A and B are shown apart, each in its own frame.
Chain A
Amino acid sequence: MTGVEHYLSIFTKAVFIENIVLAYFLGLCSFLAISKKIDASVGIGLAVIVVLTITAPINWFLWEFLLDKGALVWISQDFKDTDLGFLKLIVFISVIAAMVQLVEMFMERFSQSLYNSLGIFLPLIAVNCSILGGSLFMVEREYTISETVVYGFGSGVGFFLAIVALASIRYRIRYSNIPPRLRGVGMAMLLTGLLSMAFMAFSGIDL
């Protein structure tokens, strides 16, 4: 596969076939907690898209030029056996926490309206597993930099789609007669199961 097609296939895969929430179970905590309201879901969905698209490439650079085995050869050949891979968790999570803080400050300065709508969700995102998961999958699948950008953005869109869909379903069933102990999270899990079954239908698509 060449050029655009290849990136299109990574994107579609990240959004539909290997949806980060419905197939890999990442970011479920905020997914369940916030999907009670539609506007809030849209807000956190957008924030996840922004943060994932920014942090995945940054972590790619750190992995490629600092942490991977033999990544330090650009300093000197003596480092060609140095493997700092065990530091990746600490480095990635610090980058994510720092980026989230930066994005928040940036938004506050330049786009007050966006800040007002996304502001409260940004700190939550630092501990959203989908962000760290995106970086870890990027390392495990050995993506190149441009593939990483597409993958990060695609995963964000996948999260957005899933959370808005669940929020809309939960809104629809507000007045349904659900057994009292199943209400809330239990019902949300069953709905997510059905949603994930629907998304599995995409897995037949061969790209």
Chain B
Amino acid sequence: MELFNSESKKIVSDPINVNNPISLQVLGICSALAVTIRLDQAIIMTLAVVFVLCSSNVILSLIRNYIPTRVRIVIMLSVIASLVSVVDELLKAYLYDMSKQLSVFVGLIITNCIIMGRAEAFALKHGPSKAFLDGLGNSMGYGLIIIVVSFFRELFGAGTITLPDGGAGYVLWRIPESWYAAGYENIGLLVLSPGAFIILGLVIWIQREFAGVEEDA
């Protein structure tokens, strides 16, 4: 199969826009909210999900003809759980501060419905190269949303923009003191959980305007 023909481009680009896993398929919301307090956490989480989703899609697609349908859920869960354990251990070894901040949410990638959902809906029906592209597209669609949400939550909630580095994060930009002196204030609510729900709700709205999709309910 040609790797860069229009069909495979569509597999990658659809989930980023018109079939976005978070805003349109409504998968993987749990972690999308928990890790979006700071931009660096969202970036690391995106990388973890890209790794897990691409690998699980490829592995499951390679063994798809040997999986009995009735026990497929257990097999999918064990493949995903092994991959997530690898990511968890890697983070503990190389980015210890970050793994402390993300706490249980790395482990919860296992039950992130995007991974199971894509395995069930795509990887078990297609070949490994297509499954890889599907994994890449979906994890990037997921990443796009959580990075946008965390950017706004951090900027307006805490007044900083933090990029990931080996330790506690590198502060790229901070709202200058003079702004605070002039009367600007951070919106503390955005750092708390209600802020996460509301910002994500608004981002989903805007994303659907772009994608031109609506739902009846």
Q: Which residues of B come within 8 Å of A, CB atoms?
A: 23, 26-31, 33-34, 73-74, 77-78, 81-82, 84-85, 88-89, 103-104, 107-108, 110-113, 116, 189, 192-198, 200-202, 204-205, 208-209, 213-217
Contacts and interface: CB of A to CB of B under 8 A. Distances in A.
Interface stretch (A5-13, A127-135, A150-158): A127-135
Contact of A183 (B33, B88, B198, B216): B216
Contact of B30 (A129, A179, A197): A129
A182 B205 contact: yes
Contact of A89 (B107, B112, B116): B107
B111 A36 contact: no
B111 A93 contact: yes
Interface string A168-207: 0010000000011111111111101110110010000000
A51 to B, nearest CB: 13
Given A127-B111, A196-B194, A185 B23 contact: yes
Interface residues of A, number: 49
Given A93-B77, A190-B198, A190-B202, 18 more contacts: A29-B26, A29-B29, A33-B26, A93-B81, A127-B77, A127-B111, A129-B30, A129-B108, A132-B111, A133-B104, A137-B104, A170-B217, A181-B214, A182-B208, A185-B23, A185-B26, A186-B205, A196-B194
B contact face: mostly helix, strand, loop, or mixed: helix
Nearest to B201: A189
Nearest to B215: A184
Nearest to B80: A93
Contacts of B208: 181-182, 186
Nearest to A183: B215
Interface of A: 22-29, 32-33, 36, 86-90, 93-94, 97, 123, 126-129, 131-133, 136-137, 140, 170, 179-190, 192-194, 196-197, 200
B201 A186 contact: yes
A126 B204 CA distance: 27
Looking at B78, B82, B104, B204, the one whose CB has the most chain A CB atoms below 10 A away is B104
